[in-house]
Chain A
Amino acid sequence: MWSGRLAWIPLLGPVALLVAIWHVAVALSGSPIFPTPWQVAVGLGDLARRGLLLKHVVASLFRVTCGYLLAAALAIPIGMLMGWFATAHAFLNPLVQGLRPISPIAWIPLAILWFGVGDLSPIFLIFLSSFFPMVVGTAAGVMTIDRKYLRAARNFEYRGFRLFRSVILPAALPQIVTGMRIGLGVAWLVVVAAEMIAVNSGLGYLIIDSRNAGNRYDLVVAGMLTIGVVGFLLDALMRGLERLDEVRWRYEA
């Protein structure tokens, strides 16, 4: 019922309600620090005009891209090895399962010790945060390949690289993509925290700096909103990947 011309109601209705409650709450409490929605909008416009918004978004995206691609480049091959070879799984899985529950935030002191203050520390933290979901997703994807496909491929005399490229990879791809989507989501969560400590650009820096330099809570909330919007767009991008023909079969079976 909420489609076509009415599609905007479930999308914008709750947002409008939240903004209204927010405005009334600030007005009633008379808080001198907490900004009204309008003040945040003005702050956002101000940041955009001065080019700061774009600069910080680009800085954050740059770090996420570096850390995330590095993680994917390592996690997907390692996950495939773990999924295919029982020995690789036996040796690597305890390590993965032991390191995975450690929040990337807990690594911040070590990151600063090893990589100093600069881009490398947040990139390392993003790498850590997105590596594990991708390893686990890829390994699970390969391990749960339906045996009947491998059997058919054996019957057609597919072996080695040909078997990998034509059967193992496409069969595991849906779960690899799901792991990549989760990994990117976590990377975007972690970049903000990492930027609060080690660098002087990015959305995380914008938030912490706005608070420290004169309690500019309008800019703090403006930064938070930007994080939300960019995160939403990144996830939409990954959901687009899940709709590809090569991936979709798994969800339609």
Chain B
Amino acid sequence: MRPKIEIRSVSKTFATRGGPVPVLDDLSFEVADGEFVAVIGPSGCGKSTLLGVLAGFERPDRGEVRVDGEPVREPGRKGMFIFQQPSLFPWLDLEQNLVFGLNGESAEARRALVAHYIALVGLDGFERAFPNQLSGGMQQRAELARALMVKPEILYLDEPFGALDALTRLRMRVELLRILSRERHTVLLVTHDVEEALHLADRVLVLSPRPARIQHVVEVTLPRPRALSDPLLIELKAGLLRELGVDERAGECS
């Protein structure tokens, strides 16, 4: 079967005042349809740039990205991007935000979609609320709902829970798994949280420091839902941390 996403020899260099800085160096990998791939790496390694290139927000200098065999040139509704800062439109209430991406659906269809996704992310009763009246976690759930409204095939998540407190972050992970178990998506997650990657993904790619190359790949075969206390998960976590150059016993934790 053809992979959903193909990344072929992608390189990217940023021009800075101090001269060119290579960020991505000849990256190639594939993502299967319905697969959940997490990308981790040291901060500043270019993992966010990689996700921006995959989603079409940035052009690679060399190489190409294909989705369903078609080269990606522009961001589009097929692949929705969610990043750390919620981007709900503050001048629209929650319901108006949710229908923002719809095109020509009937009023009835819109209402049904809004009701479905508001219930799915657990925001019933907040239809008329404006984004600044919602907590950070609620905003990020609304952001997810707005993206899901357009039935994207791919979700690009750039540290989506990074701005939330630890407890909310954990809750959001469980929510995301629950939502993904109902609606099939191909997911690419960029994170610096090793545990988050192992908790969610089928496969974890570890990037090297800049310029980013794939340094290591971990397949996570544990069935979901996964307990964070599972010995296999703890073992994988220790291995990944070592791969990232962190020794847990030295008291440093991700």
Binding stretch for chain B, among A19-27, A115-123, A154-162: A154-162
Output the nearest chain B residue to A170 by Cβ-Cβ distance: B91
Query: Which residues of A does B touch, CB under 8 Å?
Result: 146, 148-149, 151-152, 154-157, 166-167, 170-171, 173, 245-246, 249-250, 252-253
Given contacts A156-B100, A249-B130, A252-B132, contact A151 B89 (CB under 8 A): no
B132 surroundings in chain A (CB, below 8 A):
249, 252-253
Q: B27 near A: Cβ within 8 Å?
A: no
From A155, A171, A245, B77 is in contact (CB under 8 Å) with A155
B83 surroundings in chain A (CB, below 8 A):
148
Shortest Cβ gap from A166 to chain B (Å): 7
Q: Are A173 and B57 in contact (CB under 8 A)?
A: no
Q: B80 near A: Cβ within 8 Å?
A: yes
Which residue, of A156, A249, A252, has the highest number of chain B Cβ atoms within 10 A?
A156
Q: Are B87 and A166 in contact (CB under 8 A)?
A: no
Secondary structure at the A interface, as helix, strand, loop or mixed, is helix
A155 surroundings in chain B (CB, below 8 A):
55, 75-77, 80-81
A149 surroundings in chain B (CB, below 8 A):
87, 89
Q: B90 near A: Cβ within 8 Å?
A: yes
Output the nearest chain B residue to A148 by Cβ-Cβ distance: B87
B9 surroundings in chain A (CB, below 8 A):
none
Q: Are A151 and B150 in contact (CB under 8 A)?
A: no
Q: B28 near A: Cβ within 8 Å?
A: no
Shortest Cβ gap from B102 to chain A (Å): 9
Binary interface profile of B, 149-184, with partner A (CB < 8 Å = 1, else 0)?
A: 010000000000000000000000000000000000
Output the nearest chain A residue to B92 by Cβ-Cβ distance: A170
